[in-house]
Structure 1
Amino acid sequence: MAAESFLTVLLLAALVLGLLVDPCENQELRCQCIQTYSDFISPRYITKVQLIPEGAYCSRKEIIATLKSGKLICLDPEAEWVMTIIKKIMDRYN
């Protein structure tokens, strides 16, 4: 009886620890951008733009651009040139 309850407690502890180690495999639980850039970057140097809306884990909208060099940079979503590029991207897919 004692061995069975010990194994049950051990199994439950392993299950709980497994859930706490990686609660969301594909989702970051914090903001991605520490610093944003508002200086103009020519769209020809940008290969990918990722829009991350405000959510439970980050209270601000984030725009992450991948440059042709492979470098990731966070763009200032309030910069006029960034809003223009985002609008053009959205219009292309609407």
Structure 2
Amino acid sequence: MKFFILLVFVFGTLSVLINGMPPISKDYNTHCRCLQVESRIIPPDSLMSIKLVPQGPHCPETEVIAGLTSGEKICLNPRSAWVKKLVQFILSKQLHHQGGAPPKNQA
């Protein structure tokens, strides 16, 4: 009987190792965050933050989540022309900002 329990335990462990386990962290999400997306243009003074969530195993689409000054968070349609321009602007601004910073010394 002990041999049977040990055998079941070993096969269970092998099954988990072979199939893999998803990473465990607070940021790991197994599904898309955006169930509905907005295509309407949001005035720039209403935008407080923009978060880009790249596509991955959790979601086949890139997600653009806007934080509004009202505290509300909405998902923007990444296929809308104005959202594409906004994303390009943010990415170019980040790239320019990173390019202007002096390189960090590595120890």
Q: Does the alignment reach a TM-score above 0.5?
A: yes
Number of aligned residues? 78
What are the Cα deviations for residues 19-71 of structure 1, in whole angstroms up to 9, with x where unaligned? xxxx4322221100000000111111111000011101111110000000010
What are the Cα deviations for residues 2-24 of structure 1, in whole angstroms up to 9, with x where unaligned? xxxxxxxxxxxxxxxxxxxxx43
Q: Distance in 1 between matches of 2:73 and 2:35?
A: 12
Q: In the alignment, what sits opposite 2:87?
A: 86
Q: What TM-score do the two structures reach when normalised by structure 1?
A: 0.73
Greater RCO (CA < 8 Å, at least 6 residues apart): 1
Matching of residues 60-79 of structure 1 within 5 Å:
60-79=61-80
Q: Distance in 1 between matches of 2:78 and 2:84?
A: 7
Q: Distance in 1 between matches of 2:26 and 2:90?
A: 29
2:74 counterpart SS class: strand
Query: Mind listing any 5+ residue stretches in structure 1 that lack a counterpart?
Result: 1-22
Q: Distance in 2 between matches of 1:33 and 1:39?
A: 15
Q: What TM-score do the two structures reach when normalised by structure 2?
A: 0.64
1:59 counterpart SS class: coil
- Structure 1 residue 79, shift from structure 2 partner: 0.3
Q: Which amino acid aligns with 1:77?
A: P
